[in-house]
Amino acid sequence: MQTGDSVFASKTRTSGNRAQNRLMVDLPKIPNVITPQGVAMPQMLYGTAWKRERTTMLVTAALAAGFRGIDTACQPKHYAQAAVGAALVDAVERGLSRASLYVQTKFTPLAGHDLVNVPYAAEARPAAQVRQSMETSLAQLQVDYVDALLLHSPLLNETEMAEVWQTMETLCDAGDTRLIGISNCTDLHWFAALFARARIKPAVLQNRFHARTGYDVALRAFCRQHGVVYQSFWTLTANPQLLGHARLRALAARYRRSPAQILFRYLTQMEIVPLTGTQSRLHLREDLEIFDFALTPADIAGLSPLLR
């Protein structure tokens, strides 16, 4: 997680609230990638995990800064999805259109929940759990549809996995979601098998981005070949060795940017959509500023060996 000028710092809280009360302008500051399904996805998303009671304020700050893509999940253990919805409603009331926003949520299998707070009937069949989770997401987010619904993690039981994916396909057919995808899937053969047998192909793969999985080099190649958008999370926190590498720091000095900005810019130029979960107004602004410059092909070639 980035640190810095927190939006909750007492000395800036009043001025921050005044800024957030202004009308928002429906002009994106982040370019979009257009998926093969025709959905516009911002090239960087704001992630809302672990924000708890600060969620509404932080999402509002991100939208006011210029973010238009929000990632959440129907998982009360780690996400306050209703608080995301409150921020979305406020943003629309202050000038943003729903069409300008990319809203992504997740269905979390039972094993990923605190069993005292499950957003669907725990004893129900997987198909019913997916539908109930979707109903909860739409109600909490206060939207008629989401732009993407991800399966939060693969199910090991093949029958249940097929039931879940087929139900997600029906939700896509019904217009409740425009895209479906999966998160926390690092097995290329498993993902390729899902892609092959799915009636509606996964459009998104969102994974933790770190050296222990080899930065998903083979998976990312598969995604590029098949038009799947690869999203990265834990991008900064998991990679102190990258941020501290002399090659990356030399680029940061040359471009007069932070190491985090260089890494994020490299990833976006490599067709990766990173998530940022910063709680800093300074870093929100710096994250947006990565689209004000571009690394050269030589710069990219110099950094790529560090991610293998």
- Cα(209)–Cα(213) distance, integer angstroms: 8
Query: What pLDDT is attached to residue 11?
Result: 30
Domain housing 185: 10-237
Looking at residue 147, its pLDDT comes to 98
In a domain, 291, yes or no: no
Q: Which parts of the chain have pLDDT scores under 50?
A: 1-20
pLDDT tens digits along 117-126: 999 999 999 9
> Is residue 278 in some structural domain?
no
Q: What is the pLDDT of residue 97?
A: 95
Is there a domain that residue 301 lies in? Answer: no
Assess if residue 89 is contained within a domain. yes
Q: What is the pLDDT, as a whole number, of residue 28?
A: 67
Domain holding 110: CATH number?
Answer: 3.20.20.100
Residue 269 lies in a domain: no
- Residue 139: inside a domain: yes
pLDDT, position 26: 74
- Give the pLDDT confidence score for residue 275 in this predicted structure: 98
On whether residue 275 sits in a domain, the answer given is no
105 occurs within a structural domain: yes
Q: What integer pLDDT is reported at residue 21 of this predicted model? A: 58
> Strand 69-71 relative to strand 32-34: parallel, antiparallel, unpaired?
unpaired
Could you give the number of structural domains in the chain? 1
CB atoms inside a 10 Å sphere around CB 137: 26
Distances (CA, A) of 69 to 44, 74, 160: 7, 17, 30
The DSSP string of the chain is ---SSBTT-HHHHHHHHHHHTSPPPS--SSPEEEPTTS-EEESSEEE-TT-GGGHHHHHHHHHHHT--EEE--S-TTT--HHHHHHHHHHHHHTT--GGG-EEEEEE--GGGS-TTS-SS-TTS-HHHHHHHHHHHHHHHHT-S-EEEEEESS--SSHHHHHHHHHHHHHHHHHTSEEEEEEES---HHHHHHHHHH-SS---EEEEE-SGGGGGGHHHHHHHHHHTPEEEEESTTTT-HHHHT-HHHHHHHHHHT--HHHHHHHHHHHTTEEEEE---BHHHHHHHHGGGG----HHHHHHHGGGG-
